[in-house]
Structure 1
């Protein structure tokens, strides 16, 4: 399978979901901007960053949970389907839902860049637009290549109006509705 391919013009979201259900475990598929994209299986440091973020969220907001790889419908952005590295929502928020959930009630999505050829377009451009158009209040992008994180806020249909960039080691201030500040010193070690 090629990492990215154009979906047939007449492919429905239901057809994409069927393909995604039958994909092997080594491939994670998303449907963004009219394309089926293969998301690489994360490396160990990627997983450790998500585990670290889970611990930080639990410490500061025990009423919330960071759900890894939760399928979200980003309908406003060309009927997309995305699997953020982390989806922050109230505990039990997704109970009884299927593989692809509506974004209502999601407080934040988090992405950690990968060391692959398409991370720029996917994580820094397309997903941010999709999450903003879906009305997700906060998008946290942990950019391992740049050694920094970006907190995107104020979503609108074309993207987030506000972006705060800080280097690893600087506190991550997550605004409403998340309301917490976490230490990012651990990211310096895990970024590799």
Structure 2
């Protein structure tokens, strides 16, 4: 397996179906500082986030937690959410779902149980965060997808999921407040999201 810092790479194996990909992902020995996801039929390995991303993720969680739907929880834990209908498995940077969805011994969580997902882009993941994940999260019916574009220093919230991805979106530069729609119905203050 080759791992590059600038662009995620596939591990070189080509299993015949999604279940085999999941099995391979479970057995994969990913180097420290990297995570693995299934994107477009490939196992993609990319570097973990920069240090200041932790601050940004914590700020998002602190602001959204009081507005979570009843019974839901928001996490930054590295969980793998599976979307078998489109053969994808993502480990979002921030995710919210009903607590029942996480009450399992399985490490493959149901992607359709998510109520919110956020991705912080990096040079190696930005394209997938802005394209593939928009379509997959929207088609799965996830009510809110937040993209924190760390390269452009802007936040985009997408909602109204549909078969094409999302029908509605709003973008604000870091430092401004971004409206987060139902089921959260709050303002996200993006002050403090920029690089040090």
Q: Is the TM value for this pair above 0.5?
A: yes
Aligned pair partner of 1:89 in 83, 89, 97: 97
Superposition misfits of 4+ residues, deviation over 4 angstroms: 6-10
Map 1:22-101 to 2 at 5 A.
Answer: 22=27, 23-24=29-30, 26=32, 27-61=34-68, 63=70, 64-68=72-76, 69-77=78-86, 79-96=87-104, 98-101=106-109
Superposed CA RMSD in Å reads 2.2
After TM superposition, the score normalised by the length of structure 1 is: 0.85
After TM superposition, the score normalised by the length of structure 2 is: 0.84
Map 1:1-192 to 2 at 5 A.
Answer: 1-2=2-3, 3-5=8-10, 10-22=15-27, 23-24=29-30, 26=32, 27-61=34-68, 63=70, 64-68=72-76, 69-77=78-86, 79-96=87-104, 98-114=106-122, 116=123, 118-188=124-194, 191-192=195-196
Once the two structures are superposed, residues 70-106 of structure 1 have per-residue CA deviations (whole angstroms, 9 ceiling, x without a partner) of 21112333x1111111111234541125211112332
Structure 1 spans left out of the alignment, 5+ residues: none
Aligned residue pairs, count: 187
Deviation at 1:158, TM superposition (A): 2.2
